[in-house]
Amino acid sequence: MNIRFTGFGGQGIVLSGVIYGWAAILDGKNAIQTQSYGSEARGGSCKCDVIIQDSYIHELEPSELDVLVAFSQPAYDTYVPTLGSGGILLVDQDLVNIEESREKTLSIPATDIAYKKMNRKIMANIIMMGYLTGKTRIISAESVEKSISSYVPAKTIDENLTAFRLGLELP
């Protein structure tokens, strides 16, 4: 299972991948996480890949994606060709215009929900992670929650878990 989180630096893209990779390990699976490493930082383009398998992982970078999460138009444009034909596309619908409709496209206004329900736009990635978990069940919600709790700053754990559950329960 190859998952790619993409968007701009500063949207919590890398954190999403790290949380998901660790959650997969907590679920008893093997996981590798890699991230784009360039001169871009906040505001530049950003990607983070997670490979999850029951068996040992031989390939260090994913060749074809099963899941693409896009938080920006340039990220969507760049990476949608790498999504396999049966792959799942998740986008923040206010940030990405989908040019070609795919069978498995899931779009939510993650940033808008984060702003309106929590007054914290920065929670969009965690809401999206909840939605991804609820829709795909690749990783158990319990493990993702544990992973979130070990990676976000201690004083924001409750807030992040609220955001995660908000996404998890979206229809």
Partner 1 sequence: MKFVQGDEAAAYGAIFAGCNFFAGYPITPASEVAELMSLELPKVDGYYIQMEDEIASMGAVIGSVWAGGKSMTATSGPGFSLMQENIGYACMTETPCVVVNVQRSGPSTGQATKGAQGDVMQARWGTHGDHEMIALAPNSIQETFDTLIEAFNLSEIYRNPVMVMTDGEIGHIREKLVFPDPEELEIIPRRLAEEKIDIFGGERIPPMIEFGMGSQVHVTGSTHKSNGMRDVSTQSVHDELVRRIYEKIDSNRENIVRYKTEFIDDAEYLIVSYGASSRPAYGALENLRKSGLKIGFLRLITLWPFADRIISETGKNMKKIFVPEMNLGQISREIERFVTCKVIPVSKIGGIPHTISEIETKIRSNL
Instruction: Name the residues that contact partner 1, by CB under 8 A.
Output: 18, 21-22, 25, 30-35, 37-38, 57-61, 63
Please state, in angstroms and rounded to a whole number, the distance separating the CA atoms of residues 171 and 169.
6
Q: Which is nearer to partner 1, 37 or 101 (CB)?
A: 37
In the complex, the smallest distance separating the C-beta of residue 32 from partner 1, rounded to whole angstroms, is: 5
Q: Which is nearer to partner 1, 41 or 57 (CB)?
A: 57
Residue with tokens 């999460």: 69
Residue with tokens 């995660």: 164
In the complex, the smallest distance separating the C-beta of residue 60 from partner 1, rounded to whole angstroms, is: 5
Please state, in angstroms and rounded to a whole number, the distance separating the CA atoms of residues 50 and 62.
8
The answer to whether residues 148 and 18 touch, using CB atoms and an 8 Å cutoff, is no
In the complex, the smallest distance separating the C-beta of residue 13 from partner 1, rounded to whole angstroms, is: 14
In the complex, the smallest distance separating the C-beta of residue 39 from partner 1, rounded to whole angstroms, is: 8
The answer to whether residues 26 and 143 touch, using CB atoms and an 8 Å cutoff, is yes
Helix (H, G, I), strand (E, B) or coil at 170: coil
Q: Which is nearer to partner 1, 49 or 92 (CB)?
A: 49
Q: Which is nearer to partner 1, 58 or 155 (CB)?
A: 58
